[in-house]
């Protein structure tokens, strides 16, 4: 009887080696390993064996069943892989890979980082401060009187009578001079808020970069030289710019900085970039710096406008609409 069991196992293995497709393999499984298959049926024959041979017979049947099952799984795996290859899953390793979309910094962040790196090479430190300010830092210390139109509630985002979202990074001039004695040489980037009507050149939230230098013997020549170096480093050596007389309560004298830009039709126009000037003595007195001994200058430029001028962006709203077709260009 044991020899008969061995022969059934050998026949099953021999038969399995001749199978070359999955349909035949399924027929094989039913014939040998199914609930009524020949290998499974061997267990019903143990009762016909003498008691002395039954343990050896049971062990043999389990061994045969395991060997046939293992061989079956190997053939099945081989035929599965072969079938996948024929169904079109073949992969050509020489085919160029698909381009992976990788995130990157927003154009405003890129421009801010470039500005900070540039001013860092010019010897400026970097400071930041709160976007929610009090009237002292946003207006009073900057020599902006109560009746000045810049303090109109319609032109600011007031939170309460004495607190508002800062309308300019000039607030950082006061915070730096309150806590540091000259010499001072810093830039302060950050968001500012004004309830402007949104159009191609205005937003109610935008970014500025403020610069402040305070020391003995500082003059307008130092201011003009720094701005000239900055413009030519950021926009290119051939960029034309000018000072235009202006007025700000916290600087005296004051000026606007204009760039000569060429539009798509080839026409040249002077475009405002920001304001600047010598720090007003009243501002020095407010923060406890001797205006007889020290002088200083400051400027504030809009980061969005710098980016728009440099990259030829015509509408500021594009910078905030999160359109990947636009942002992926930078």
| Higher per-residue pLDDT: 234 or 104 | 234
Residues 207 and 285 in one domain: yes
pLDDT, tens digit, 9 for 90 and up, residues 221-234:
999 999 999 999 99
Residue 288 covered by a domain: yes
Q: How far apart are CA 313 and CA 164, in angstroms?
A: 31
Residue 246 covered by a domain: yes
Cα 138 from chain centre: 31
Q: What is the mean pLDDT of residues 122-142?
A: 96
Q: Which of 38-47, 134-143, 167-176, 301-310 has the lowest mean pLDDT?
A: 38-47
Q: What is the mean pLDDT of residues 144-165?
A: 93
pLDDT at position 1 is 66
Helix, strand or coil, per DSSP, at residue 216: coil
Residue 315 covered by a domain: yes
Residue 264 covered by a domain: yes
Is the pLDDT at 168 greater than 60, yes or no? yes
Q: What is the mean pLDDT of residues 142-147?
A: 92
Residues 156 and 279 in one domain: yes
User: What ranges in 146-219 are assigned the alpha helix state H?
Assistant: 171-179
Residues 247 and 143 in one domain: yes
Confidence label for 102 from pLDDT (cuts 50, 70 and 90): confident
Residue 27 covered by a domain: yes
Residues 73 and 151 in one domain: no
Confidence label for 214 from pLDDT (cuts 50, 70 and 90): very high
Tell me the DSSP string of 58-89. HHHHHHHHHHHHHHHHHHHHHHHHHHHHHTT-
Residue 100 covered by a domain: no
Last residue of a domain, one of 52, 86, 120: 86
pLDDT at position 229 is 95
pLDDT at position 89 is 56
Give the domain extent around 287. Answer: 107-327
Residues 126 and 262 in one domain: yes
Count of CB atoms situated within 10 Å of the CB of 59: 10
Residues 149 and 238 in one domain: yes
pLDDT at position 297 is 97
Is the pLDDT at 87 greater than 60, yes or no? no
Is the pLDDT at 320 greater than 90, yes or no? yes
Q: How far apart are CA 260 and CA 272, in angstroms?
A: 9
Q: Which residues of 296-313 are buried (b: 16+ CB within 10 A; e: fewer)?
A: bbbbbbbbbbbbbbeeeb
Judge whether 234 and 250 are in contact, CB under 8 Å.
no
Residues 127 and 78 in one domain: no
Q: What is the mean pLDDT of residues 316-324?
A: 92
Q: What is the mean pLDDT of residues 294-315?
A: 92
Q: How far apart are CA 80 and CA 74, in angstroms?
A: 10
Q: How far apart are CA 89 and CA 81, in angstroms?
A: 10
Residues 42 and 161 in one domain: no
Is the pLDDT at 97 greater than 90, yes or no? no
Three-point CA angle 236, 240, 241, nearest 5°: 115
Residues 75 and 118 in one domain: no
Confidence label for 91 from pLDDT (cuts 50, 70 and 90): low
pLDDT at position 290 is 96
CATH of the domain at 274: 3.30.930.10
Is the pLDDT at 44 greater than 90, yes or no? no
Residues 19 and 115 in one domain: no
Q: How far apart are CA 264 and CA 273, in angstroms?
A: 19
Judge whether 261 and 285 are in contact, CB under 8 Å.
no
Q: Which two tokens stand for residue 75?
A: 């053939």
Place of tokens 């801010």: 112
Q: How far apart are CA 222 and CA 242, in angstroms?
A: 15
Residue 116 covered by a domain: yes
| Higher per-residue pLDDT: 53 or 125 | 125
Strand partners of residue 268: 262
Please give the tally of structural domains in the chain: 2
Three-point CA angle 162, 165, 170, nearest 5°: 95
In total, the chain counts a number of residues equal to 330
pLDDT at position 225 is 96
Percent of the chain at pLDDT exceeding 90? 55
Q: How far apart are the first and last CA of the chain?
A: 82
Last residue of a domain, one of 86, 121, 154: 86
Is the pLDDT at 88 greater than 90, yes or no? no
Judge whether 192 and 168 are in contact, CB under 8 Å.
yes
Confidence label for 63 from pLDDT (cuts 50, 70 and 90): confident
Residue 75 covered by a domain: yes
Residues 170 and 205 in one domain: yes
Is the pLDDT at 17 greater than 90, yes or no? no
Residues 75 and 204 in one domain: no
């Amino acid at each position: 009887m044991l020899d008969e069991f061995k022969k059934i196992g050998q026949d099953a293995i021999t038969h399995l080696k001749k199978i070359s497709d999955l349909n035949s393999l399924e027929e094989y499984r039913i014939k040998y390993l199914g609930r009524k298959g020949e290998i499974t049926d061997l267990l019903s024959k143990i009762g016909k064996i003498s008691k002395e041979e039954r343990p050896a017979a049971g062990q043999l049947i389990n061994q045969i069943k395991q060997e046939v099952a293992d061989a079956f799984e190997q053939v099945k795996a081989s035929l599965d892989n072969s079938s996948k290859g024929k169904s079109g899953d073949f992969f050509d390793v020489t085919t160029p890979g698909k381009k992976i979309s990788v995130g990157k910094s927003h154009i405003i962040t890129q421009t801010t980082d470039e500005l900070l790196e540039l001013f860092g090479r010019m010897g400026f430190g970097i400071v930041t401060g709160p976007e929610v300010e009090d009237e002292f830092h946003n207006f009073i210390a900057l020599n902006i009187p109560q009746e000045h139109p810049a303090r109109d509630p319609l032109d600011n985002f007031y939170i309460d009578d004495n607190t508002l979202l800062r309308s300019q990074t000039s607030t950082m001039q006061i915070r730096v001079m309150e806590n540091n004695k000259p010499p001072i040489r810093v830039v302060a980037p950050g968001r500012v808020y004004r309830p402007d009507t949104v159009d191609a050149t205005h937003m109610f939230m935008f970014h500025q970069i403020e610069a402040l230098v305070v020391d003995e013997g500082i003059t307008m020549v130092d201011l003009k030289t720094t701005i000239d170096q900055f413009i030519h480093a950021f926009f290119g050596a051939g960029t034309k710019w000018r000072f235009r007389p202006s007025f700000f309560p916290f600087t005296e004298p004051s000026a606007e900085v204009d760039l000569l830009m060429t539009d798509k039709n080839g026409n040249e126009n002077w475009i405002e970039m920001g304001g600047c000037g010598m720090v007003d003595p009243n501002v020095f007195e407010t923060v406890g710096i001797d205006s007889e001994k020290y002088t200083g200058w400051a400027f504030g430029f809009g980061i969005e406008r710098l980016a728009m001028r440099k990259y030829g962006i015509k509408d500021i709203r594009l910078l905030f609409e999160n359109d990947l077709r636009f942002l992926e260009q930078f």
